[in-house]
């Protein structure tokens, strides 16, 4: 068996990765971080030698080597990359590398005569085997042009009997300067809440056992230098791109090694590989950067480089759920469509309640036929009117779920996931439909395709409203989450293959399925069922750590939030929502003429700037005043930027002083001016540099209604002109506003 003896360097986007494949061993990451520049064979050999740990007392007598798939036989006493056995045998394999490919092309011995393979952005595939254990392993390591690292493994059983696979995770080393951890948590209605802790000895383990990503998912697990923030500090982050049960972990051993890792979480007995069968892990993504913003931008640039990625020209959407809930009466829905079109909406989405006996959430789920009781002419009258108004049409589905009170569940009770004879606890009065059963999968696929074939549907809101509890396959009850996740991906792929222009939104009780596995085949995620802008400010801020703005559903809520009961001015609701894929979740039939006019202004502003808002580089501003959330987007060519300063509560002082505007070209000059859309934020005190005055045409109305005033430039141009360096270092004095209000600024190059 030929063994590989080489080093490989990868460089792209300011990131460097150095792999050690010497002496036929599994690849070890010698370096993952800032680009080290041009390295020759002697440099890499010295880098490898300089990283060999000494032999410490009460440890093994050889330096422990931590491979991409950590191996127990090396003396590694942390979490092993592979856990499994053949009834207790072959549980500690020792792999030897047998092949090396670069971008699919084998690398022969002559190419590695110097012991070094130097690459830019590339895909490296390493083949390895342990014949005595009857196992083969393939590791794929990719560095994208954005500098994003991702890896996955495929394990094949070459033995003559079954191999029970319990766990297969990959791990990236991080240096000792990474001594703080940050990941995300949360719950329904308050997804992606940051939490920070020291990187101490032991394991920080985040397991997702919900059968979906989860509102409390780690999302991205970071390790960084002490005090790292959005704009500074070295940060390493990992993300497991999988929509089922999954793992993220950070581990620090007594001997000093630190790793970040992750993979799929397999339930007991879920995967037994028969002879010749294989298992492939999800992608484990790694992003390195100077500050959290650079880590996030690597994810964004990777996604934006895909051929199927949606453009920044995203249609303004209205979803009717909070307007009508289950009351699907044609005329009110038509009135809503006409009002929406009049203010500039470009896509209309009909939510839950159009099918079967689905008049509430107790019955009908799974019966994907249009209800003749509610829609005697089918959906045609609504779809035709929406199209005539110039809007796209979208429809809600929940393909993976079923009510027991449904024709489908009565006909096929064996298609309901369960651990055996007993039925799992209900959630939202529903159970999980087992798409891992081929007949069930075909039924659901054909039912959805029939709807898509009959109606001109541009968009699916794909919901998933419960965790997978005791999700087994009847009659034996073998765990089925792995198969269910793959079947869901397959169903999305099949629908889009049949309807290539179809867009899909990942909605899961709000934001409980947000990961790069589902985003390989969907066009946006629903951030949360809570669209209260006070809550959304934080949720949008942290969802962008993984997801670019154009893939985040971001809707303008009703004046009074349906989930929190808070009331907010339209300024705050709209100025929050424009930093994502803009939509409306509001019964516009009850809106005043003035509110509709102001809403139309905000939609026009969004349309004029959406290529910047949805295509720019993310900037989140570190500010010691926690009552202020500051962020922005900067055009890739640094010609323009839009900044948001949201006052979340009253500050301790009358003014926060100067606000910095980072991210611009330091040597260029920019005119910075306030964004004057609709009514001014409540409590506004415009500073002198704004160069604005009250709009006297609305003065009497302002006094009689108590509404905030409208403002207009007092001269030809509002604002001031400064260099990008001055704006980043010195900034501009704040315009104080009341809590729960936002001030936006537009910066445009004048060079």
Task: Name residues of the chain where pLDDT drops below 70.
Answer: 1, 109-114, 695-706, 715-717
Residues 275 and 333 in one domain: no
580 in a domain, yes or no? no
* Residues 634-668 as b or e (16 or more Cβ within 10 Å = b): bbeebbbbbbbbbbbeebeeeebeebbbbbbbeee
Which of residues 499, 526, 553 is at a domain's end? 526
Q: Is 366 left (phi over 0), alpha (psi -120 to 50) or beta?
A: left
- pLDDT for 700: 47
3-state secondary structure of 705: helix
Residue 736: inside a domain? yes
> Quick one: 339 and 247 in the same domain?
no
Is position 314 within any domain?
no
Concatenated DSSP letters for 209-232? -SSS--TT---SEEEESTT--SSS
Q: Pick the catalytic residue from 463, 467, 515, 569.
A: 463
pLDDT at site 2: 75
Considering 467, 529, 617, 740, which one is annotated as catalytic?
Answer: 529
Residue 593, in any domain of the structure = no
- Structural domain including 725 reads 618-749
Say if residue 242 is in the same domain as residue 358: no
Q: Supply the pLDDT for residue 626.
A: 87
Same domain? 240 vs 379: no
Residues 6 or more apart whose Cβ sits within 8 Å of residue 654: 736
Q: Coil, strand or helix: which one is 90?
A: coil
CATH number, position 666? 2.60.40.1180
- Between vectors from CA 285 to CA 662 and to CA 40, what angle results, nearest 5°? 85
Catalytic residue check, 529 = yes
User: Is the domain of 410 the same as that of 522?
Assistant: yes
624/518 same-domain check: no
The whole-model pTM stands at 0.96
Q: Are 234 and 346 in a shared domain?
A: no
Q: Is residue 352 domain-shared with residue 492, that is, in the same domain? A: yes
CATH of the domain at 182: 2.70.98.60
For this structure, is 623 an active site residue?
no
Domain boundary among 494, 526, 558: 526
pLDDT reported for residue 90: 95
Q: Which of 510, 526, 542 is the C-terminal boundary of a domain?
A: 526
Domain co-membership, 134 together with 31: yes
Same domain, 184 and 38: yes
470: left (phi over 0), alpha (psi -120 to 50) or beta: left
- Give the integer Cα–Cα distance in Å for 521 and 505: 9
The H-assigned helical ranges of 579-680 are 593-613
In a domain, 546, yes or no: no
Is 269 in the same domain as 165? Answer: yes
DSSP, collapsed to helix, strand or coil, labels residue 57 as coil
Residue 550 lies in a domain: no
- Is 511 a member of any domain? yes
Domain count, the chain: 3
Q: Are residues 332 and 289 in the same domain?
A: no
pLDDT score for 710: 82
List, as one string, the DSSP characters of 463-498: ---S---S-EETTTTEE-HHHHHHHHHHHHHHHHHH
pLDDT of residue 111: 53
């Amino acid at each position: 068996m030929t063994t590989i003896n080489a080093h490989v360097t990868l460089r792209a986007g300011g990131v460097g990765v150095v792999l050690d494949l010497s002496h036929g061993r599994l690849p070890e990451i010698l370096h993952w971080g800032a680009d080290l520049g041009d390295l020759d064979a002697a440099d890499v050999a010295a880098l490898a030698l300089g990283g060999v740990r000494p032999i410490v007392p009460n440890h093994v007598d050889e330096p422990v080597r931590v491979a991409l798939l950590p191996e127990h036989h090396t003396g590694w006493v942390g979490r092993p990359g592979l856990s499994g056995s053949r009834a207790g045998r072959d549980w500690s394999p020792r792999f030897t590398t047998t092949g090396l490919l670069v971008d699919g092309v084998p690398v022969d011995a002559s190419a590695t005569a110097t012991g070094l393979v130097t690459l830019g952005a590339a895909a490296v595939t390493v083949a390895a085997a342990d014949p005595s254990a009857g196992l083969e392993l393939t590791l794929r390591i990719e560095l994208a042009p954005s500098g994003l690292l991702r890896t996955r493994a495929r394990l094949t059983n070459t033995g003559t009997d079954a191999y029970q696979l319990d766990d297969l995770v990959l791990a990236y080393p991080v240096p000792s300067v990474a001594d703080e951890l940050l990941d995300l948590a949360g719950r329904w209605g308050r997804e992606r809440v940051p939490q920070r802790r020291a990187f101490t000895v032991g394991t920080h383990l985040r397991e997702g056992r919900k059968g979906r990503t989860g509102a409390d998912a780690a999302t991205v697990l970071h390790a960084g230098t002490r005090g790292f923030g959005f704009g500074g500090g070295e940060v390493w982050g990992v993300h497991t791109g999988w929509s089922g049960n999954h793992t993220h972990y950070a581990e620090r051993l007594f001997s000093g090694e630190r790793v970040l890792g992750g993979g799929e979480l397999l339930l007991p007995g879920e995967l037994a590989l028969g002879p010749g069968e294989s298992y492939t892990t999800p992608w484990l993504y790694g992003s390195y950067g100077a500050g959290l913003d650079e880590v996030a931008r690597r994810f964004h640039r990777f996604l934006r480089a895909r051929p199927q990625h949606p453009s920044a020209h995203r249609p303004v959407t209205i979803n009717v759920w909070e307007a009508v809930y289950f009351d699907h009466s044609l005329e009110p829905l038509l009135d809503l469509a006409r009002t929406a079109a009049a203010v500039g909406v470009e896509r209309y989405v009909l939510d839950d309640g159009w099918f079967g006996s689905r008049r509430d959430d107790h019955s009908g789920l799974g019966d994907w036929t249009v209800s003749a009781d509610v829609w005697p002419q089918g959906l045609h009258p609504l779809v035709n009117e929406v199209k005539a108004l110039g809007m796209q049409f979208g429809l809600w589905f929940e393909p993976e779920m079923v009510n027991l009170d449904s024709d489908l569940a009565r006909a096929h009770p064996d298609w309901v996931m369960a651990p055996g004879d007993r039925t799992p606890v209900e959630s939202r009065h529903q159970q999980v439909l087992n798409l891992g059963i081929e007949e069930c999968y075909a039924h659901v696929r054909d039912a959805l395709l029939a709807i898509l074939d009959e109606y001109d549907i541009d968009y699916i809101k794909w919901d998933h409203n419960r965790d997978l509890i005791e999700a087994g396959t009847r009659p034996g009850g073998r765990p089925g989450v792995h198969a269910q996740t793959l079947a869901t991906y397959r169903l999305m792929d099949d629908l889009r293959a049949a309807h290539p222009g179809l867009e899909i939104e990942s909605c899961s009780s709000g934001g409980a399925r947000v990961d790069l596995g589902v985003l390989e085949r969907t066009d946006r995620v629903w951030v949360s069922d809570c669209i209260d802008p006070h809550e959304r400010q934080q949720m949008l801020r942290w969802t962008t750590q993984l997801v670019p703005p154009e893939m985040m559903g971001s809707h303008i809520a009703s004046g009074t939030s349906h989930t929190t009961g808070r009331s907010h001015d339209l300024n705050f609701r709209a100025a929050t929502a424009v930093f994502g894929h803009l939509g409306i979740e509001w019964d516009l039939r009850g809106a005043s003429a003035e509110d509709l006019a102001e809403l139309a202004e905000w939609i026009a502003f969004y349309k004029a700037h959406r290529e910047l808002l949805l295509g720019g580089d993310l900037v989140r501003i570190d500010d010691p005043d926690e009552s202020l959330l500051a962020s922005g987007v900067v055009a890739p060519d640094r010609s323009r930027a839009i900044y948001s300063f949201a006052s979340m509560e009253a500050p301790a002082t009358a003014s926060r002083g100067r606000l910095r505007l980072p991210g611009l070209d330091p040597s260029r000059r920019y005119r910075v001016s306030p964004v004057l859309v609709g009514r001014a934020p409540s409590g506004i005190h415009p500073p002198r540099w704004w160069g604005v005055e009250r709009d006297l045409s609305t003065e009497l109305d302002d006094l009689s209604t108590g509404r905030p005033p409208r403002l207009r430039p007092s001269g030809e141009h509002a604002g001031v002109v400064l260099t990008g360096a001055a704006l980043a270092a010195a900034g501009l004095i704040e315009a104080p506003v009341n809590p729960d209000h936002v001030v936006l600024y537009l910066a445009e190059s004048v060079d």
